[in-house]
Amino acid sequence: MALLEVKDLKVHFPIHGGILGRVVGYVKAVDGVSFSIEPGQTIGLVGESGSGKSTIGKSILGLTHITAGTIRFDGKDITKSVRKNRSPYRKSVQMIFQDVYSSLNPRKRVLDIVAEPLRNFEKLSKTEERKRVDELLSIVGMTPDNASKYPFEFSGGQRQRIGVARAIALKPKLIVCDEPVSALDLSVQAQVLNHLKDIQQELKMAYLFISHDLGVVKHMCEHLAIMHHARFVEYGTRKDIYENATHIYTKRLIAAIPDIDPNKRKDNARNRAEINALYEKELPDYYRDGHGVYDLRPISDTHQVAML
Ligand SMILES: Nc1ncnc2c1ncn2[C@@H]1O[C@H](COP(=O)(O)OP(=O)(O)OP(=O)(O)O)[C@@H](O)[C@H]1O
Ligand SMILES: [Mg+2]
**Distance from the Cα of residue 199 to its chain's centroid:** 17
What sign results for the dihedral spanned by CA atoms 179, 66, 119, 112? Answer: positive
125 C-alpha to center of ligand 2: Å? 37
User: What separation in angstroms does the CA of 138 have from each of 118, 120, 126, 165, 190?
Assistant: 17, 22, 18, 9, 18
Is the CATH number 3.40.50.300 carried by domain 4-221?
yes
What's the first-to-final CA gap in the chain, in angstroms?
A: 32
Protein residue with least CA distance to atom 28, ligand 1: 50
Residues having CB closer than 6 A to ligand 1 are 13, 27, 29, 47, 49-55, 98, 212
Burial 251-269 (b: 16+ CB within 10 A, else e): bbbbbbeeeeeeeeeeeee
CATH 3.40.50.300 domain span(s) along the chain: 4-221
Q: What is the pLDDT along the chain (308 residues), one digit of tens a residue?
A: 899 999 999 999 999 988 888 999 999 999 999 999 999 999 999 999 999 999 999 999 999 999 999 999 999 999 988 877 778 888 899 999 888 778 899 999 999 999 999 999 988 999 999 999 999 998 888 999 999 999 999 988 889 889 999 999 999 999 999 998 887 777 778 888 888 898 899 889 999 999 988 988 888 999 999 999 999 999 999 999 999 999 999 999 998 887 777 777 788 888 888 988 888 889 999 999 888 999 999 999 999 999 98
- Determine which residue's CA is closest to atom 22 belonging to ligand 1: 54
Q: What is the pTM of this model?
A: 0.92
